[in-house]
Amino acid sequence: AQKILDDDHYGLEKVKERIVEYLAVQQRSKKLKGPILCLVGPPGVGKTSLGKSVARATGREFIRISLGGVRDESEIRGHRRTYIGSMPGKIIQALKKAKTTNPLILLDEIDKMGQDFRGDPASAMLEVLDPEQNGTFVDHYLEVEYDLSNVMFLTTANSYNMPSPLLDRMEIISLAGYTEDEKSEIAKQHLIGKQIKNHGLKKTEFELTDGALSEMIRTYTREAGVRNLEREIAKLTRKAVTKLVKKEAEKVTVTPDNLEDFLGVKKFRYGLVEKEDQIGVVTGLAWTSVGGDLLQIEALRLPGKGRMKTTGKLGDVMKESIDAASSYVRSIAPSIGVKPPKFDTM
């Protein structure tokens, strides 16, 4: 099981460790209930594909249920048979498709469920995801109790924006975005080989150097996962196939020097923002959903009445930081030779 998980995914040690722990305990205790794990992380870090690997490692059938946009409670619990076109809910349909009572069911995008006049599907999921209750799950279509305690549920989400009772029933495992080194290893072990195969290339016909790969990650992608990186690698392989078909080259090697010829102008800046300090400009650190970033904050002194005006769509934390910086400068003004009354005229 450990080998399957390691072969399919680089990193994600917390999830792998939890799955291996479950399998180890299962060997000792035959009546162990399946864990209900929730993988929370940004898009593209491998949450959904990890579900397939876990199914392989545990020897279970894999069924994926997408919950994005589900607003009707009947989608989970089924419709009563008195309605025209009634059918079982997604859970019972998944078990019917799996043809077994102990599959691995991946509930994808569980944080994207909504609610309207037809009911609250998130509340219906409480019974499904509670190990103490799901042994007597009742689907409205079947109208009999069904035991879900042997099913292993794995859920995925991009955020913790879920009802508290639902969060309480799951074991949360946070997946951080990949570092540059991790992205590089994932590309070497999985993505490059996959795109070479998909585009009908031979390994002897295409080469992406380590330097070019690092440059791609730094200046052509800005993401927590590796989806855009895979798209850029696919673009390289398409260009390589075109060159080979036109007989312009027998082998295509991508280096940092010719990378722009394949991918065009760089999309993002990397490294030092400015080599020399400028008066009135300071470099700040910013947090975004795809990772850390650098930004330049510029201040300009104009004649006025001592008020400070900020531009841009700033949040409360940023405004508080500006006020703190202003207060600090005022407090040390005498020690750096600035007379306090000067602040009241600009």
CATH number, residue 251: 1.10.8.60
Please write the tens of the pLDDT for every residue from 217-253.
Answer: 988 998 888 889 999 999 999 999 998 998 888 888 9
Question: Which two tokens mark 301?
Answer: 């002194």
State whether 188 and 79 are in the same domain: no
- CATH number where 160 lies: 3.40.50.300
256/80 Cα distance (integer angstroms): 62
Render the burial of 98-117: b for 16+ CB within 10 Å, e for the rest. Answer: beeebbbbbbbbbbbbeeee
State whether 104 and 145 are in the same domain: yes
Side chain identity at residue 170, one-letter code: M
Domain assignment present for 277: no
What integer pLDDT is reported at residue 237 of this predicted model?
A: 92
State whether 18 and 113 are in the same domain: yes
Provide the number of structural domains found in the chain.
3
Render the burial of 21-35: b for 16+ CB within 10 Å, e for the rest. Answer: ebbeeeeeeeeebbb
State whether 95 and 39 are in the same domain: yes
State whether 9 and 154 are in the same domain: yes
State whether 92 and 146 are in the same domain: yes
State whether 190 and 237 are in the same domain: yes
Domain assignment present for 271: no
Domain assignment present for 187: yes
pLDDT block averages, 10 residues each, the chain of length 346: 79 79 76 76 84 85 87 81 83 88 88 74 82 82 84 88 85 84 89 90 89 91 88 92 88 90 86 77 78 80 80 83 85 79 64
What integer pLDDT is reported at residue 34 of this predicted model?
A: 63
Domain that holds residue 258: 180-263
DSSP 157-218: ESSS-S-HHHHHTSEEEE-PPPPHHHHHHHIIIIIHHHHHHHTT--TTTEEE-HHHHHHHHH
Domain assignment present for 275: no
Domain assignment present for 217: yes
What integer pLDDT is reported at residue 344 of this predicted model?
A: 66
State whether 30 and 102 are in the same domain: yes
Mean pLDDT of the chain: 84
Domain assignment present for 278: no
Domain assignment present for 256: yes
State whether 165 and 212 are in the same domain: no
State whether 159 and 305 are in the same domain: no
State whether 23 and 58 are in the same domain: yes
Instruction: Name the CA radius of gyration of the chain, rounded.
Output: 27
State whether 25 and 83 are in the same domain: yes
